[in-house]
Structure 1
Amino acid sequence: MAQPKKKTSKSRKNMRRSHDHVETPNVVYCECGEPILPHRACSSCGTYKGRQVITSEDA
């Protein structure tokens, strides 16, 4: 199996990994005021795009 000729420096290793970070999630606010992730139904009131999609006993 092939082996590297020279050691990869910490700087070069970290530059290669600069795009591997976890981005912060985008947060939007429901009509009820709860912060939720976009394109998901609100867990507290059960609405999505202004209409009720989850009944009150499920939420």
Structure 2
Amino acid sequence: MPNPKKKTSKSKRNMRRSHDRVPVPNVTYCQCGSATLSHCICPGCGTYRGRQYVATQEAHAE
């Protein structure tokens, strides 16, 4: 099995690892104040872009 001839420098090693990071999710805040992912229905109030899509317990209480 072949082995490396030279030690890989810190710069080369870090440049190779530059794309290995975990992406940060795009978090937006709904009008109700809860954090949601973009382009998704809010789990707190069930709205998306100002329209009610999912009936929640808060909607039944009103």
Report the TM-score, using the length of structure 1 for normalisation. 0.72
Percent sequence identity is 50
Q: 1:1-51 deviations in whole A, cap 9, x for unaligned?
A: 8x4653451522221111221122221110101111100000011001100
Report the TM-score, using the length of structure 2 for normalisation. 0.69
Q: Unaligned regions of 5+ residues in structure 1, if any?
A: none
Alignment of 1:1-59 (within 5 A): 3=2, 6-7=5-6, 9-11=8-10, 12-56=12-56
Higher relative contact order (CA 8 A, sep 6+): 1
Q: Would you say how many aligned residue pairs link Structure 1 and Structure 2?
A: 56
Q: Unaligned regions of 5+ residues in structure 2, if any?
A: 58-62
Task: List, as ranges, runs of 4+ consecutive aligned residues in structure 1 with deviation greater than 6 Å.
Answer: none
